């Protein structure tokens, strides 16, 4: 993310922030509403994690400016994301 933005660019960013906020608020309500449907556990986990991942991506891409960030920051994060997923998969292997 460039540290030298023109006032017009900053104002465009602010518009995006407001839109992202509305999306996050709506997705939070949807997440809670879906939980009251009492879906089977696998479907419930899938839907909840899908929505949470989308919300997390919005925060990272726009509030944390990752969508416009340099590759030197993106590459280590991709590596971390990979190992984070590995950490989540390891305990499920105990079932097999």
Partner 1 sequence: MSDAAEIRFISKPHPITGVTNSKLGVWCFLASEVMLFGGLFSAYILLRIGATEWPHGSTILNVPLATLNTMILIVSSVTMVMSWASLALKNFSKYRFYMAITILLGIAFLVVKSFEYAHKFEHHHYPSTNNFYGIYFTLTGLHGLHVIGGIFLNLYLLLPGSKLWKTNPEQFMGRVEAAGLYWHFVDLVWIFLFPTLYLL
> Least distance (Å) from partner 1 to the CB of residue 93?
10
Residue 64 or 67: the one with the smaller Cβ distance to partner 1 is: 64
C-alpha to C-alpha distance for 57 and 53, rounded to whole angstroms: 6
Q: Dihedral sign, CA of 59, 32, 87, 41?
A: negative
Taking CB under 8 A as the rule, does residue 15 contact partner 1? Answer: no
Q: Which residue carries 């726009």 as its tokens?
A: 62
Four-residue CA torsion sign, 37, 43, 45, 48 = negative
Q: Which residues bind partner 1 (CB under 8 A)?
A: 3, 5, 7, 10-11, 13-14, 17-18, 20-21, 24-25, 28, 31-32, 35, 41, 44-45, 48-49, 51-52, 55-56, 59-60, 63-64, 69-70, 72-73, 76-77, 80-81, 83-84, 87-88, 90-92, 94-95
């Amino acid at each position: 993310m460039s540290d030298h933005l023109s006032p017009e660019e900053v104002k465009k960013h602010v518009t995006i922030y407001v839109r992202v906020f509305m999306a996050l608020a709506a997705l939070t309500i949807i997440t809670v509403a879906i939980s009251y449907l009492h879906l089977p556990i696998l479907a419930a986990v899938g839907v909840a994690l899908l929505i949470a991942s989308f919300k997390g991506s919005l925060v990272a891409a726009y509030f944390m400016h990752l969508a416009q960030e340099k590759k030197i920051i993106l590459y280590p994060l991709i590596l971390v994301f990979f190992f984070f997923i590995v950490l989540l998969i390891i305990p499920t292997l105990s079932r097999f």
